[in-house]
Structure 1
């Protein structure tokens, strides 16, 4: 059952995207996460649908950001553990690279990118608040590949273990809704303001209805697909049975001809594979 608009918190996808559309809030979150300053935001968009090619799986990014240095940041809120985060991050990385590398440009034009998943669960299982990944040499772990691709998984469950006070407070707010810092206090007020905004309420209602329709459509399409597959399977089985029946009839006809020319039952069994009982009935 989908939440009502008034029940939404920062951990809900819709509200998270709305809050992170605010440049100052988004920039503060990124700097807390990366423990570093980022350039001025030059591009910020939410709910980006990306299709990498005809027939390819499309994705929808929660928040896509570029700063003035060209670095890109994909920020995703993940409330439910679907046990596919590493492969999903890999696909997102590829999709973003294709999105930002224009045809004819050299690979060196690809700037640094960060895929960031803010999770309400510990997908890695080491009870750390932050897991940062880069490609390194297995033989000598001092050597970085320097491909510019970085992936970060945030575990809001471990908010108390975050060394940075503001990050700890933010993760606690995401996990529990408790306001303990100036930053989370600002976010709470933003959410209160949004909940009194009829346009935002209508947008959520529209999206909810659209997703329900899409789910219903998907289920209907699934049923149709299932029927198609069932028919295909039935045809396959029917053809297999037809071939089997035809082959059996051929064996019977062959056995009859061999009987007519006086061949012994033992030899007919060897020639056709039929049983003695089947041959004696002819």
Structure 2
């Protein structure tokens, strides 16, 4: 079987599923009722109506700021904002992305002269194909709380949720379990996932969307190159750590042998040096003892002759006297 990077654009198109960013955005953008139903399923809330979803909706606060492209960004009739992100690849900065997205959503919701109290709830929802935080939970929900009093919530209206799709069997409801099994590439097992599957297939049969996908993929490749050049300095350290871990796994045994040899040589040299120094010092002490036995010189003279301290010579002399007593 060909690897992903060996596939032609047409082969990639034929293999796409709902978990693919292009299909995910297209299905939810073109089907308001499905988007609404998905939000209700994920958040376990009722939504009266939603505005037409904005697939890959772009926000930027000013000319100099960094923009962001949301996967699916919608608002309900009460002003609440929802951003749904599909995350198929491993990422190390999802928490910071959620923080940035929340800020941009607030900017999008606040109009000039509007009071902050008018800000409505905003949800950033990541549908991750892996475990974002490594705790093996099916869902991670974050709201601000007081560190000194865990029961005190900030109640600023922001909610960040990270789903772990691979833990579908641990989801709270059968509806969620069915949806995330489908997201992981399994057959639909509910009315909702049946409809999603049909919409995915209908999208893939469209020559217009097939052409759009191929154009989109080329644009994504171009943007990826541009972004890589932009981000390279700030992620170099993270990449270095990851590369080091991979190298360590692949080369640990060979490197360990080489390192062990070098360490053994250094240790042998140090041990030999210590032993030589100790032997030399013992020889000097033996010479000092002989001079003390012959009583041919004073303590300070013996110290000067042998290089020992006066205290060391006196200690040797006391030992000698005790032995002769």
TM-score normalised by the shorter chain: which range applies?
Answer: 0.7 to 0.9
For residues 214 and 111 of structure 2, what CA distance do their matches in structure 1 show? 36
Structure 1 CA distance for aligned equivalents of residues 148 and 191 of structure 2: 45
The runs of at least 4 aligned residues of structure 1 exceeding 6 Å deviation read 219-223
In the superposition, the TM-score normalised over structure 1's length comes to 0.74
Tell me the alpha carbon deviations over residues 150-174 of structure 1, each in whole angstroms, 9 at most, x when there is no partner.
1110110100011210111100111
Please give the alpha-carbon distance, in whole angstroms, between the structure 1 residues aligned to 2:122 and 2:224: 32
| Pairwise CA RMSD | 2.0
Alignment of 1:1-282 (within 5 A): 1=5, 4-21=12-29, 22-216=31-225
The question of whether the paired residues in 2 share the 8 Å contact of 1:51 and 1:58 is answered with: yes
* Worse overlay, 137-146 or 205-214: 205-214
- Residue 222 of structure 1 and its aligned partner are, at CA, apart by 9.4
Q: Higher mean Cα deviation, 99-108 or 1-10? A: 1-10
What are the ranges of 5 or more consecutive residues in structure 2 without an aligned counterpart?
A: 233-325
Asked which structure has the greater CA Rg, the reply is 2
Structure 1 residues 219 and 69, CA, compared in 2 at 3 Å: closer, same or farther?
closer
For residues 126-164 of structure 1, the C-alpha deviation after alignment (integer angstroms, 9 at most, x for no partner) is 222111111111111221111000111011010001121
Please, which moves more after superposition, 126-135 or 35-44? 35-44
Using structure 2 for the length normalisation, give the TM-score. Answer: 0.65
Q: Counterparts of 2:133 and 2:226 in 1: how far apart (Å)? A: 34
Question: Residues of 1 paired with 2:228 and 2:135: CA distance?
Answer: 37
**Aligned pair in 2 of structure 1 residues 11, 222: CA closer, same or farther (>3 Å)?**
closer
SS of residue matched to 2:78: coil
Match of 1:82, SS state, is coil
Query: Which structure shows the bigger proportion of residues in helix conformation?
Result: 2
Measure, in 1, the Cα distance between the counterparts of 2:95 and 2:222. 30
Contact 2:27 2:203 in 1 (8 A): no
Q: Given the superposition, is the C-alpha separation of residues 220 and 111 from structure 1 closer, same or farther in structure 2, using an over 3 Å criterion?
A: closer
